[in-house]
Amino acid sequence: MYRDKMELHYGFPIPPETGLLVGIVGVILIYFGVFTKRGLHIGDNNFLICLNCQTPVRSDDVTDLMCPQCQGILEKLDGFYDRHPELKEKNKKGF
């Protein structure tokens, strides 16, 4: 069953230290996933919103400040409904 302290897994020899290595890499990935703020969040300045169709768009996805769907003007998402309270009320009535 075992050959030279290597376990055969689907025909490939796997050393026993592989489990330890995979565990260490997993802990490192979990640490960086939980304790760093490199992810994208809706409230970040990385998002824009269209004035016409109110579609959110990542700022990395557009080169100019035009909506890719309706060619409307894009603004920063952060504080959008504070600047345009009439659109907030319009959305509440639509649902």
Domain ranges of the chain: 1-39, 47-94
Q: What is the pLDDT of residue 92?
A: 58
What pLDDT sits at residue 39? Answer: 52
pLDDT value of residue 35: 74
Q: What is the pLDDT tens value at each position of the chain, 95 positions in all? A: 445 566 666 777 778 788 889 999 999 988 877 776 655 454 456 788 888 888 888 887 888 888 888 888 888 887 887 888 887 776 655 54
Give residue 35's identity as a one-letter amino acid code: F
Is residue 67 exposed (0-12), middle (13-18) or buried (19+ Cβ within 10 Å)? buried
Quote the pTM value.
Answer: 0.47
